[in-house]
């Protein structure tokens, strides 16, 4: 575990296993967030979150205002959808997301005057966000506004935020952990948000802390982001919020590892952060909560990173949800001649895609474009039983067993070796000298296990 110690917290600031890939954040971390102009149209899948799709509440041909609800999250684990444009609803479409999900979507064609996205971003990065009068907001109202605003976790998992913060008599929340680790290589959207809009994050954290009646609020940041730490320390001065500065290590930002690092508690296998009294939310989600509750603005835009050596001009962008990945890539000067792989998200947990009409969704934290040199393509060779994959796994799993179970269509063995505890961090694939795509096999194994469960 080394000599690193996290002062002021029960945890050590570290977790077992994990890896240290080059973070490559220098490609985009000095690029201030740039605001994208409204596109001609946006395409919005009805499922952009974990859970049940929202129910479409507009008809083709109908005119909609900026921020108007297009889909209602009727189920408890669902999230509503709002229009980032003023315009007209076109006929419904089907889209395939980079993770392979094929989903119905609503397309809105821009029409008439648009709300200025620069104004929206200026509001987020303003220094005027309140810190002292949060108690005027009733906890139930905060939860209900989070629900109505379609807010989901913006760190990538896109779990509906109201589900995490709804009061629950059986599981009390002691600590709200705000996740600003951004441990995925290349991505810098959270870093820029912490640097440029710390007051919005703090206001959202205070509101969310009030909603869950947290005794402690901690913003967690890795030690490779000293400028963000400085800005957050200034923004949290004279508030109850603490800052935990953690060792830079992948995947420090995953829920289980972060809770272990900061609080020293282990989430039981198959459990949730709430089982150990924690609610966790990403920094971007917190800024969105502040906008929703204080400005009554739904989630329509987000900050994304576009980075990698395969993109001509790496940038951080304030982009409307539903804009095509292709438009975003063009805005960044397009791909370089040696671009080899375009990934939605970061290189460790993201999904490669080739259809550039696919839209940016609420969970899109960025686009990473790797070159042939970066991905070091090579033939898979036989497993040499070196054990590096198991040494790297932060969940103490045996990735080879899981991968073999998937390869030989044996879901019961996969389940026996806790395949569902794998959160697809990619550490095992990253370290494998035989270039075995373990995480891809594990994803297949999970599908097999799920099919077996459904088939009884």
> According to the binding rule CB under 6 A, does residue 144 interact with ligand SF4?
no
> According to the binding rule CB under 6 A, does residue 408 interact with ligand SF4?
no
DSSP state of 408: T
> According to the binding rule CB under 6 A, does residue 167 interact with ligand SF4?
no
In contact, 87 and 64? CB cutoff 8 Å: yes
Among residues 146, 203, 392, 448, which is the contact residue for ligand SF4, using CB under 6 A?
392
Q: Which window, 165-173, 237-245, 358-366, 386-394, contacts ligand SF4 (CB under 6 A)?
A: 386-394
Beta pairing, strands 69-72 & 81-82:
antiparallel
SS3 at position 271: coil
In contact, 304 and 291? CB cutoff 8 Å: no
Among residues 63, 65, 387, 420, which is the contact residue for ligand SF4, using CB under 6 A?
387
The distance of closest approach from Cβ of residue 418 to ligand SF4 in the complex, given in angstroms and rounded to an integer, is 9
- Closer to ligand SF4 at the Cβ: 110 or 449? 449
DSSP secondary structure, 344-400, as one string: ES-TTT-EE---TTPBP-TT--EEEEEEHHHHT-----------HHHHH-TT---HH
DSSP state of 103: E
The distance of closest approach from Cβ of residue 23 to ligand SF4 in the complex, given in angstroms and rounded to an integer, is 18
> According to the binding rule CB under 6 A, does residue 347 interact with ligand SF4?
no
> According to the binding rule CB under 6 A, does residue 59 interact with ligand SF4?
no
> According to the binding rule CB under 6 A, does residue 352 interact with ligand SF4?
no
Among residues 384, 412, 416, 450, which is the contact residue for ligand SF4, using CB under 6 A?
384
> According to the binding rule CB under 6 A, does residue 404 interact with ligand SF4?
no
> According to the binding rule CB under 6 A, does residue 42 interact with ligand SF4?
no
> According to the binding rule CB under 6 A, does residue 399 interact with ligand SF4?
yes
Q: 137 vs 133, 134, 208, 258, 283, CA distance in Å?
A: 8, 6, 10, 29, 20
> According to the binding rule CB under 6 A, does residue 438 interact with ligand SF4?
yes
CA angle, residues 201, 363, 233, in degrees to nearest 5: 20
Q: Which window, 91-99, 263-271, 320-328, 438-446, contacts ligand SF4 (CB under 6 A)?
A: 438-446
Q: Which window, 118-126, 179-187, 368-376, 397-405, contacts ligand SF4 (CB under 6 A)?
A: 397-405
**φ and ψ at 316, to 5 degrees?**
-115, 130
> According to the binding rule CB under 6 A, does residue 389 interact with ligand SF4?
yes
CA distance 355 to 373: 22
Which residues fall within 8 angstroms of residue 185, CB to CB, at 6 or more apart? 21, 22, 23, 24, 25, 250, 346, 347, 348, 368
> According to the binding rule CB under 6 A, does residue 422 interact with ligand SF4?
yes
Which residues of this chain interact with ligand SF4, rule CB under 6 A? 383-389, 392-393, 395, 397, 399-400, 402, 422-428, 431-434, 436, 438-439, 442
């Amino acid at each position: 575990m080394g000599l690193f110690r996290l002062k002021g917290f029960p945890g050590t600031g570290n977790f077992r296993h994990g890896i240290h890939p080059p973070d490559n954040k220098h490609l985009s971390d000095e690029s201030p967030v740039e605001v994208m102009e409204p596109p001609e149209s946006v395409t919005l899948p009805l499922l952009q979150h974990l859970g049940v799709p929202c129910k479409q509440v507009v008809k083709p041909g109908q005119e909609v205002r900026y921020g108007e609800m297009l889909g209602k999250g009727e189920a408890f684990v669902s999230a509503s959808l709002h229009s980032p444009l003023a315009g007209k609803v076109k006929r419904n479409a089907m889209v395939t997301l980079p993770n392979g999900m094929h989903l119905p979507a609503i397309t809105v064609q821009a029409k008439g005057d648009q709300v200025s996205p620069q104004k929206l971003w200026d509001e987020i990065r303003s220094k005027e966000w309140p810190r002292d009068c949060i108690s005027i907001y009733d906890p139930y109202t905060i939860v209900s506004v989070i629900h109505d605003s379609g807010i989901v976790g913006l760190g990538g998992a896109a779990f509906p935020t109201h589900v995490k913060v709804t009061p629950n008599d059986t599981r009390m929340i002691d600590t709200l952990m705000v996740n600003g680790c951004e441990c995925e290589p290349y991505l810098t959207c959270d870093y820029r948000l912490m640097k440029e809009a710390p007051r919005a994050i703090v206001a959202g954290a205070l509101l969310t802390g009030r909603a869950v009646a947290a005794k402690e609020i901690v913003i967690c940041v890795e030690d490779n982001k000293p400028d963000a730490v400085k800005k957050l320390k200034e923004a949290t001065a004279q508030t109850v919020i603490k800052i935990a500065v953690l060792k830079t290590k992948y995947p420090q930002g995953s829920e289980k590892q972060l809770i272990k690092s900061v609080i020293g508690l282990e989430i039981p296998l198959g459990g949730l952060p709430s089982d150990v009294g924690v609610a966790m939310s990403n920094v971007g989600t917190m800024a969105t909560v502040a906008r929703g509750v204080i400005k009554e603005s739904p989630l329509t835009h987000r900050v994304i990173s576009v980075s990698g050596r395969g993109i001509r001009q790496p940038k951080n962008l304030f982009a409307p949800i539903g804009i095509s990945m292709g438009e975003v890539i063009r805005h960044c000067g397009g791909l370089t001649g040696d671009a080899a792989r375009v990934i939605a998200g970061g290189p460790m947990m993201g999904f490669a895609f080739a259809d550039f009409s696919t839209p940016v969704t609420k969970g899109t934290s960025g686009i990473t474009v790797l070159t042939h040199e970066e991905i070091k393509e090579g033939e898979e060779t036989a497993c040499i039983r070196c054990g590096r994959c198991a040494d790297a796994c932060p969940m103490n799993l045996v990735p080879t067993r899981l991968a073999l179970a998937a390869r030989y269509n044996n879901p019961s063995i996969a389940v026996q070796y806790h395949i569902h505890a794998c959160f697809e961090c990619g550490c095992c694939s990253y370290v494998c000298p035989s270039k075995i795509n373990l995480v891809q096999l594990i994803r297949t194994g999970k599908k097999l296990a799920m099919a077996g469960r459904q088939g009884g």
